[in-house]
Every structure is written in structure tokens, then in C-alpha cells.
Amino acid sequence: MTFTHFNEEGMAKMVDVSDKKVTDRTATASGSIYVSNAIIDKIKNNDMKKGDVLSVAQIAGIMGAKKTSELIPMCHNIFISGADLKFAIDEINSKIEIIATVKTSGQTGIEMEALTAVSIASLTIYDMCKAVDKNMVISDIKLLKKTGGKSGVFERKEV
């Protein structure tokens, strides 16, 4: 078996994608942050001292997608043609669900950017709400779907 992220001397390297075909690529990732009812009420009423939690998390998630190659050592710095995050407050399960979709036209995938967007958005929610309750749990960050590239479409099948 050959590993793509190691050179002949066994040292880490970034994979050369220069021979790969440019294709339109999208990735959608999701995750959840479990919060208290008090936090949900404050977010819904825009009553958090640090400001509008979901608006700030939206911007942070987009910024996270743009900075992925600076955070994950072997990720390529790629052009992002679009990034969007959606939030759903689930009062019954005391959580906020985050879905990020990121797009590019390039030679390598954009899955890590979508996963990073969800991660940074959830960390931002934690940061903005920790004064109310530190018992929050960030959970279930996963790739839902990806399109483009040699491997084609991947769609998560829930079991």
C-alpha cells in the first residue's frame, strides 16, 4: 500500500493535484451543539450579551471555510466560489443543528472546508454562550454529501 501524503523518505508531503481535472465540486457537512433551554431562549430572543449568536456563527463558519488550508496541514489552498450555513434550533432535543455547503471549481475536493465551517460555527456558538452555561456539547460533525471529482458523488446513508 502506498500513502499519498508521504514522500519516498517517509516524510509528510502535500499531494500534487496538478494533473487532476478541474471539476465543479460541492460538499455539505452538518453538526450539532447541545445547549440548555436558557441558551435557546436567549438566542431566540437575541438576548445574549455578546450579540446575535447565529449571525456571528454564520460569518465565523464562512471564515473558517476560507482558512481551512491554514488549519489542516495537508489541505490545499483552494478557491471557494460559495459558502453558506443554515441553523435550525431544535427545542425538543435542546440543540442547534448546523449545515454548511461549500462550493469550488478546482482540482481537489472541498469536504474539509465544509467540515471546518461547521466546526468553527459550533465553536463560535460555544464561545458566545459559555457565560450562560458551559455544559454545551459539540457533536455529530460529519460529511453529508459531496459532488465532483474523480470519485463522483458521495451521499451519507444514515443507519
Closest to 127 in 3D by CA, of 61, 44, 45, 30: 61
Give the span between the Cα atoms of 113 and 123, in whole angstroms: 15
Could you give the strand order of the β-sheet that contains 95-106, starting from the edge strand earlier in sequence?
82-90, 95-106, 23-34, 137-147, 154-155
Per-residue cell: 52: 446575535
Per-residue cell: 41: 431562549
Check if 127 is active-site. yes
Closest to 68 in 3D by CA, of 83, 53, 57, 49: 83
Contacts of 123 (CB under 8 A, 6+ apart): 60, 138
Among residues 41, 47, 90, 127, which one is catalytic? 127
Positions annotated as catalytic residues are 127
